[in-house]
Amino acid sequence: MKVIASSLRKGNVVDLDGKLYVVLSAENIHPGKGTPVTQLNMRRISDGVKISERYRTTEQVEKAVVDDRPHTFLYQDGDGFHFMNPETYDQLTASADMVGDSAPYLQEGMTVMLSTHEGNPIALELPRTVSLEIVDTEPSVKGQTASSSYKPAVLSNGVRTMVPPYITVGTKVVILTEDNSYLERAKD
C-alpha cells in the first residue's frame, strides 16, 4: 500500500526494496527556500541496521501490511520480552533490539500496541503516558519560583528527566513516553 512520505510516523513499517524497516523517527522539514522534505530514521527489521532516508513530502513510499493489536506485557527474561494477545492468549517473544528504548517503561500487565508481520513482532507502541515515582532529585531551594528552570530527577525505572522545582522524592508523576518529559503530578 503506497502512502505519502509526510504521513509516516514513529512505529510505522515500510517496505524498501523488499526489506522491511520500522520508522524510528519521522521529521517534516520545511526550509525557507526549496521543497519540503521528510527525514526518516529507520531500522531494518531483519538485522537491526539503522538507515536514514530523505523524501520529498509528496513522494510515495510502500507501507508494509502489518497487524496492529493490543498485547499485554508479561515479563522479561533471557529470551526477550514476552507479550500475550488478550483475545487468543497466544504469546509472542520480542527481542531487546525490537523493544529498544521502550524497555524501561514496560511494566507487568501493561497494554501496548504490538505490530506483527507474518507472526513476528516488529514494532511496539507504548501508552502515551505512564505514572512513575521520583526516586532521586535535588531538594527544592526556598524562594525559588515555580516558573523557573526545571531540575534533574531519576524515575523509579532508572530514566532521567527534568521536573519542576517543587517535585520531591517519593512524588508520583506522569511522564510522556515519547520524549521522557514531565507532564504533571499523578492524580492517584
CA atoms within 13 A on the CB side of 187: 1
Phi, psi for residue 137 in degrees, rounded to 5:
-160, 165
pLDDT the model gives residue 110: 92
Look at the chain and report how many structural domains it folds into: 3
pTM assigned to the model: 0.68
pLDDT band per the 50, 70, 90 thresholds, residue 146: low
Q: Which of 29, 62, 95 is the last residue of a domain?
A: 62
- The CATH number given to whatever domain includes residue 40 is 2.30.30.30
- The CATH number given to whatever domain includes residue 172 is 2.40.50.140
pLDDT in tens, 57-68: 888 998 887 888
pLDDT the model gives residue 101: 82
pLDDT band per the 50, 70, 90 thresholds, residue 73: very high
Label residue 112 exposed, middle or buried (CB < 10 Å: 0-12, 13-18, 19+).
buried
pLDDT in tens, 4-46: 988 888 878 888 888 888 888 889 999 888 889 999 999 888 7
Q: Do 82 and 120 fall within a single domain?
A: yes
Task: Please state the rounded mean pLDDT for residues 103-126.
Answer: 87
Q: Do 136 and 120 fall within a single domain?
A: no
Q: Do 57 and 91 fall within a single domain?
A: no
Q: Do 54 and 16 fall within a single domain?
A: yes
Domain that holds residue 26: 2-62
